[in-house]
Amino acid sequence: MKKRLQYKSNDDLEITADLYTCESPRAVLVLCHMANSSRGEYIESSKRLVSEGYQCLVPDLRSGNEINGVVNETAKRARSKGLPTSYLDAKPDVLASIENAMGYDLPVILVGSSYSASLAPLVAIEDGRLKAIAMFSPGEYLQGVKLAESIKDLDVPTFVTSARSECEKAMAVVRKVEQNLVTKHCPDGSSAHGSRALWAEVDGNEGVWRAFLDFLSRT
């Protein structure tokens, strides 16, 4: 079942999100999209995650645009208000989404895609309540932030994956994190950037799904 939600970021910008529910969920996954994207990035993936027993909260972040025919309503509002919409400007939207997810009294796992994958460990350190994070194609994307250095004290289970061509860059982001906390997956064959690696149309998606679901089952 899907519900449309609206809640506010810390600067009162209204965030639009989709909530995908299931019976007796194991956890709430906060699924964050990549650049120039929207909550439409997870239409397909959310349905599978729900079938695996995970409730999914999928927000539109203010740095984004449109994907799969779904317009990013949060980004549209931010632009109309003249608010900045850089990658880092979206961090309060991720924090507000975690706050909303905490209301379901379930473990909360943050999932990021591309730029939001880079935001995920920063948010995990700042918030301190997450059960785990998953990073799809993270990188040094955040202006003025040396990410690998900034997240060396990350202390939650962390899943990292990317397209094969990006693996070296993605894994370098977590090189200073306690390695016992990190699960790395580099596809054997072709894949895709960000959470698109989970889309059925992408070659090698089942291998990424197996690694991701195995990580979730262990956290």
Give the chain's mean pLDDT.
Answer: 97
| Helix (H/G/I), strand (E/B), else coil: 106 | coil
Q: Which of 115, 69, 71, 65 is nearest to 94 (CA)?
A: 115
- pLDDT at 189 (0 to 100): 82
Does the CA dihedral 162-214-120-176 come out positive or negative?
negative
Cα dihedral angle (47, 50, 52, 54), rounded to 10 degrees?
140
Residues 6+ positions from 114 with CB-CB distance below 8 Å: 34, 35, 136, 137, 138, 139, 141, 193, 194
pLDDT digits (tens, 9 = 90+) for 123-144: 999 999 999 999 999 999 999 9
- Going from N- to C-terminal start, the domains of the chain cover 2-217
Model confidence pLDDT, tens digit, residues 139-161: 999 999 999 999 999 999 999 99
DSSP states of 8-41: E-TTSPEEEEEEE--SS-SEEEEE---TT--GGG
- The type of residue at 71 is V
Bridge partners of 160?
A: 135, 184
Q: In whole angstroms, give the CA distance from residue 89 to residue 70.
A: 21
* Number of other residues whose CB lies within 10 A of the CB of residue 155: 11
- Report the pLDDT value the prediction gives residue 190, as an integer from 0 to 100: 80
pLDDT of residue 160: 98
| Alpha helices, DSSP H, located in 106-173 | 115-127, 147-150, 167-173
* pLDDT at res. 60: 98
**Residues in the chain with pLDDT values less than 70:** none
The CATH H-level superfamily of 2-217 is: Alpha/Beta hydrolase fold, catalytic domain (3.40.50.1820)
The verdict on pTM exceeding 0.85 is: yes
| The pLDDT value given to residue 64 | 98
What's residue 198's pLDDT?
A: 98
